[in-house]
Amino acid sequence: MLATWIFFASLKLNGLKHSKAGQDTDECVMPGLCGNHAQCFNTNGSYYCRCNEGFQPTTFNFTATTRQCQDINECLEKTHDCLDNMECINIIGSYNCMCPNGYRPSRTDSGCEDINECSDPDVCGTNADCSNHPGGYICTCHKGYSNYGNNQSKCTKMVHFCLANE
């Protein structure tokens, strides 16, 4: 649920409130009157500003003099609708829901599902066994082969160096 932030102004702009014969002056024609990320709405004898969706005023008492709207971080405030196994990524004025590494969007729109990297026979190569686990995989090298501590790397034939006295 997004809040709509509004402030009302009753300022005289350049000493003019009404033009000839009590006709209302549209204060909203002045560029930037409400600051960034806000819209101006003219009323009879005044105007008001409203922060755009995804923004809120920078101060509690939002007035025409402070007139700034700031991004709402829906991720930090937990106002997003990302599913439990998705990551919330804040962007200016909104947010995105992303699957973490090793996961992809499910085909049933129920969040993210594990990618079975081991379904690709080449992921660990022919000299290793692949074990899938949530969010990743492990290559276990066959005897005589190594991935030198990088468990997500193909295994290569181990090279032994002999010292002169051996």
Domain boundaries, the chain: 6-71, 73-115, 120-157
Tens digits of per-residue pLDDT, 56-66?
Answer: 887 655 556 66
Print burial letters for 25-60: b (CB count within 10 Å at least 16), e (below 16).
bebbeeeebbbebbebeeeeebbbbbbbebbbbeee
The identity of residue 23, as a single letter, is Q
Same CATH topology for 73-115 and 120-157: the answer is yes
Report the predicted TM-score, pTM, of the whole model to 2 decimal places: 0.59
Topology of domain 73-115, CATH: Laminin (2.10.25)
Tens digits of per-residue pLDDT, 78-128?
Answer: 999 998 789 999 999 999 999 999 999 988 877 899 999 999 989 998 999
Residue written as tokens 């560029």? Answer: 31
| 135, pLDDT greater than 50 | yes
**For position 6, what pLDDT does the model report?**
45
Q: Report the CATH architecture of 120-157.
A: Ribbon (2.10)
Instruction: Give the tokens for residue 154.
Output: 């193909």
Where residue 31 falls among pLDDT bands split at 50, 70, 90? Answer: confident
| 22, pLDDT greater than 60 | yes
Per this entry, what is the length of the chain?
Answer: 166
